[in-house]
Structure 1
Amino acid sequence: MKPAHVILGVHVTDRLKDAVTVQKVFTEYGSLVKTRLGLHEIGNSPEGIVLLEVVGGQEAWKAMAAKLQAIEGIEVKEMVFSH
């Protein structure tokens, strides 16, 4: 059986306030991140979404998701595509 494709959606409600903290978590778990895509409105919108395609064991990416979720103003959603 092939490993699942896992996408984490990270909603950041205040990019200016939380960018450094979120980036530290991304760096800590950098070996899990296969693809990273940032989406945000041009202009003054403080919100943004980062989509992460992650690899590795479920325990590892769940730990990263939990650490991100613990940051005030951050919401994390998981999409898991199994074969």
Structure 2
Amino acid sequence: MFSVMAIKLSPRTSSAPKAQEILTKYGCIIKTRIGLHEASKDTCSTAGLILLDLLRDDEKKIQNLLAELNSIDNVTAKLLEI
């Protein structure tokens, strides 16, 4: 089974510092992290998407991570278990 978390930050410039602090706190359960946002020569998107592949060792830590991220204004986190 895989535990994948998708995190939307919009606007990412104001919500990213607090989200980063939380991700660092739970870094030991994050196997893979991918960050995506629109970027071009002339513009940089205000929205961002982070995808996490999580260790399933501690369900409570995963739920705490989800709750802490969702407590930040302009951040939406969803957990998908496949």
TM above 0.5, yes or no, is yes
Residue matched to 2:72 = 71
Deviation at 1:36, TM superposition (A): 0.1
Runs of at least 5 residues in structure 1 that lack an aligned partner in the other structure: none
CA RMSD in angstroms comes to 0.8
User: Which residue of 28, 32, 35 corresponds with 1:31?
Assistant: 28
Q: How many residues align?
A: 78
Q: Match of 1:61, as an amino acid?
A: I
Quick one: distance in 2 between partners of 1:19 and 1:74? 9
d(CA) in 2 for partners of 1:35 and 1:73? 23
TM-score by length of 2: 0.90
Task: Compute the displacement of 1:58 (Å).
Answer: 1.3
Match of 2:18 in 1: 21
- SS of the residue 1:26 aligns to: helix
Structure 2 gap segments, 5+ residues each: none
Q: Tell me which residue corresponds to 1:44.
A: 44
What is the deviation of 1:44? 2.8
- Percentage identity across paired residues of the two chains: 27
Q: Tell me the CA shift for residue 23 of structure 1.
A: 0.4
